[in-house]
């Protein structure tokens, strides 16, 4: 019996001999704990979890994102976190450079969960894009403008920012970081729209890429604030102002961003219309969208983006804004659109894009391109013949090639086959859809000035300059404004052998804030043979 009593007494002493205050018992904040217990940590208003501390010891600590007491000393937040204030309460939030989960908002004050080059996510200072939206002619600041950023695939990169009474806006860009938290080189573009103004980009105006790595760190965040982030909008003609807007949401996967949303008038055949009839917007990350400047009519509101089929919604616009238009995913399948092109009289590689036909303007040769409807979907142009665009939703499209600055253009020679603008009607359903006859792409006339590489601001009327092409007899020179109006032309400009650059003084309108584009077309034996590239030759009065 004496031996039994000694064994029992020794058993009681084991927890004390080990020095473990919480082993086998419920532990308090900061105390060592036993994970084998069903409830190893004491109950508290802040919540405690038995987890490893920075030394690898199991202790009762407040988890990442959990409530905490700022007066607690010492602090008992999980490793790599601190007790920070947020929304009037205190939480254990991740320290800078700590590994984070992009689906949870647990980074500390002044940091965001950013993707790194290694593939993980860490808490780093945000990259903020800021600027002003203003009237291109009067320089007046524009309040209530919607600004959104897109990545290189034309997908939404940010939420929509709305400019304040000073025309100012700010966007948070999810930039990829290096091992030191610095933003690496990556490009994005901006889109801006406002009541009574032409959307940017549209017409002659293309958005120029902005490098996220150019941000300067100022008191924490990286700030990108340059002339590229200040957006000038061109006021619509007086007859197109004062129309209401359509507000809605793409209700897919909790809200789908980057969807091109187009209000198309019912009963209108875009193939027969010389002017674009569709009015567009792009959804923010939460799926919300606003289509400004919609005249009274009956519309089908359609959503376009690669890999998603979206049911259209019929709306009637009268004198007031239309709210709560919801677009949902369709059960119909998607098509892979295929085709073929021929590069004639030169060599090179190009890309193919699908523009929504109701937004296409034959004069400016531009239309809206939904995210992902490009071959190749990403990267440098690589098409030399056959091409495929996957995951195309139903709709009417214009097929365009040579639309980038790749020294190639769609052949304008009407005397040969395959030079018409190709318009297709893609049905819903699965499988391939062939775009039909092959079309031709040829060498572009070189654009020297103005606007050789990007839109060029000028203080006086320019001298238009372009390069020759073999066997040309003469050139037609035309200039359009941002609304597609022909404002200048010089027809029959004679070709001169041995001349490396032709020049012509521009004597047309030159209004402040207006954008213009000059184009040269070469002719031989009564047919056009080539043109300058559709994205070059743009200039404006600054």
The pLDDT score that the predictor gives to residue 483 is: 84
Beta bridge partners of 26: none
Last residue of a domain, one of 428, 443, 458: 443
Question: At which residue do the structure tokens 């259209």 appear?
Answer: 312
Does this model's pTM top 0.85? My answer is: no
Domain identity same for 117 and 35: yes
The confidence score (pLDDT) of residue 7 equals 37
Residue-wise over 261-297: b if at least 16 C-beta within 10 A, else e?
A: bbbbbeeeebeebeebbbbbbbbbbebbbbbbbbeeb
Q: Is residue 250 part of a domain?
A: no
| pLDDT on residue 6 | 38
Per-residue pLDDT, 1: 42
pLDDT of residue 364: 80
| Greatest extent of the chain over all pairs of C-alpha atoms, in Å | 124
Q: Please indicate, yes or no, if residue 474 is contained in any of the structural domains.
A: yes
Shared-domain flag, residues 115 and 130: no
pLDDT at site 3? 41
Backbone angle region of 435, left / alpha / beta, with phi > 0 → left and psi within -120 to 50 → alpha:
alpha
Pair 432, 464 in one domain: no
Collapsed DSSP state (helix, strand, coil) of residue 9: helix
Identify whether residues 416 and 464 lie together within a single domain: no
Task: Check whether residue 340 and residue 422 sit in a common domain.
Answer: yes
- pLDDT averaged over consecutive 10-residue blocks of the chain (542 residues)? 39 39 74 91 83 92 91 89 91 95 91 94 96 93 95 84 96 93 91 95 82 87 90 93 97 94 87 78 94 96 97 96 97 95 88 93 86 91 94 94 82 65 91 88 93 91 95 94 90 94 96 91 92 90 85
Q: Are residues 434 and 353 in the same domain?
A: yes
Task: Please say which residue of 180, 213, 233 terminates a domain.
Answer: 233
Same domain, 419 and 506: no
Both 390 and 435 in a single domain?
A: yes
The edge-to-edge listing of strands for the beta sheet with 322-327 is: 288-291, 246-250, 322-327
pLDDT (tens digit per residue) in 174-227: 999 999 999 999 889 999 999 999 999 887 788 888 889 988 897 889 999 988
Does residue 252 lie in a domain region?
Answer: no
Q: What would the two tokens of residue 115 be? A: 């993707």
Are both 344 and 435 inside the same structural domain?
A: yes
Same structural domain, 339 and 437? yes
3-state SS record for 19-38: CCCCCCCCECCCCECCCCCC
Structure confidence at residue 271 (pLDDT)? 64
Q: Does 437 lie in the same domain as 451?
A: no
Our count of domains for the chain comes to 4
DSSP 154-176: S-B-SPPEE--TTSEEEEEE---
Look up the CATH number of the domain holding residue 194: 2.60.40.10
Ranges of beta strands (E only) in 330-431 are: 335-344, 352-356, 374-375, 386-392, 395-401, 408-410, 422-426
Contact 283, 291 (CB under 8 A): no
Residues 437 and 528 in one domain: no
Residue 255 belongs to some domain of the structure: no
CATH number at residue 537: 2.60.40
| Tokens standing for residue 193 | 């729209």
419 domain residue, yes or no: yes
Would residue 97 count as lying in a domain?
Answer: yes
The answer to the question of residue 259 being in a domain is no
pLDDT for residue 416: 57
- Residue where a domain terminates, one of 89, 123, 157: 123
Residue-range definition of the domain harbouring residue 22: 15-123
Q: Quick check: is 307 in a domain?
A: no
């Amino acid at each position: 019996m004496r031996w039994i009593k000694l064994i029992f007494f020794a058993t009681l002493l084991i927890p004390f001999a080990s020095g473990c205050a919480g082993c086998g018992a419920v532990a308090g904040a900061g105390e060592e704990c036993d994970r084998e217990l069903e409830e190893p940590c004491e109950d508290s208003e802040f919540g405690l979890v038995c987890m490893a501390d920075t030394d690898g010891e199991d202790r009762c600590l407040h988890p990442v994102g959990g409530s905490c007491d700022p007066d607690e000393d010492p602090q008992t937040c999980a490793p790599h976190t601190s007790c920070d204030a947020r929304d009037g309460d205190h939480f254990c939030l991740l320290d800078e450079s700590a590994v984070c989960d992009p689906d949870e908002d647990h980074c500390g004050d002044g940091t965001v969960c950013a993707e790194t080059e290694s593939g993980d996510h860490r808490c780093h200072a945000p990259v903020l894009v800021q600027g002003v939206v203003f009237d291109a002619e009067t320089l007046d600041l524009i309040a209530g403008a919607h600004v959104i950023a897109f990545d290189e695939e034309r997908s939404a990169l940010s939420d929509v920012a709305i400019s304040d009474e000073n025309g100012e806006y700010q966007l948070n860009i999810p930039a990829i970081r290096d091992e030191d938290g610095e933003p690496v080189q990556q490009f994005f573009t901006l889109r801006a729209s406002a009541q009574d103004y032409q959307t940017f980009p549209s017409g002659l105006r293309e958005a120029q890429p902005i490098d996220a790595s150019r941000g300067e760190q100022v008191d924490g965040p990286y700030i990108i604030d340059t002339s590229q982030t200040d957006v000038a909008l061109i006021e619509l003609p007086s007859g197109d102002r004062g129309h209401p807007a359509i507000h809605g949401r793409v209700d897919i996967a909790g809200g789908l961003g980057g969807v091109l949303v187009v209000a198309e008038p019912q009963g209108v055949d875009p193939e027969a219309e010389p002017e674009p009839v569709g009015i567009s917007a792009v959804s923010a990350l939460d799926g919300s969208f606003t289509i400004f400047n919609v005249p009274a009519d009956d519309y089908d509101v359609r959503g376009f983006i690669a890999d998603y089929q979206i049911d259209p919604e019929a709306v009637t616009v009268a004198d007031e804004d239309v709210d709560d238009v919801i677009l949902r995913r369709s059960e119909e399948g998607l098509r892979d659109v295929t085709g073929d092109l021929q590069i004639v009289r030169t060599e090179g590689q190009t890309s193919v894009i699908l523009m929504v036909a109701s937004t296409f303007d034959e004069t400016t040769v531009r239309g809206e391109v939904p995210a992902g409807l490009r071959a190749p979907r990403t990267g440098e142009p690589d098409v030399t013949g056959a091409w495929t665009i996957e995951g195309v939703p139903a709709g009417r499209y214009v097929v365009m090639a040579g639309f980038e600055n790749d020294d190639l253009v769609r052949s304008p020679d009407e005397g040969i086959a395959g030079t018409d603008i190709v318009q297709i009607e893609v049905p819903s359903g699965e499988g391939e859809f062939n775009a039909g006859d092959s079309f031709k792409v040829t060498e572009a006339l070189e654009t020297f000035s103005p606007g050789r590489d990007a839109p060029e601001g000028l203080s006086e009327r320019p001298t238009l300059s372009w390069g020759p092409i073999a066997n040309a007899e003469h050139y037609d020179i035309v200039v359009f404004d941002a609304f597609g109006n022909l404002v200048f032309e010089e027809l029959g400009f004679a070709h001169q052998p041995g001349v490396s650059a032709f020049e012509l003084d521009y004597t047309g309108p030159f209004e402040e804030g207006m954008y213009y584009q000059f184009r040269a077309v070469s002719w031989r034996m009564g047919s056009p043979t080539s043109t300058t590239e559709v994205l070059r030759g743009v200039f404006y009065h600054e």
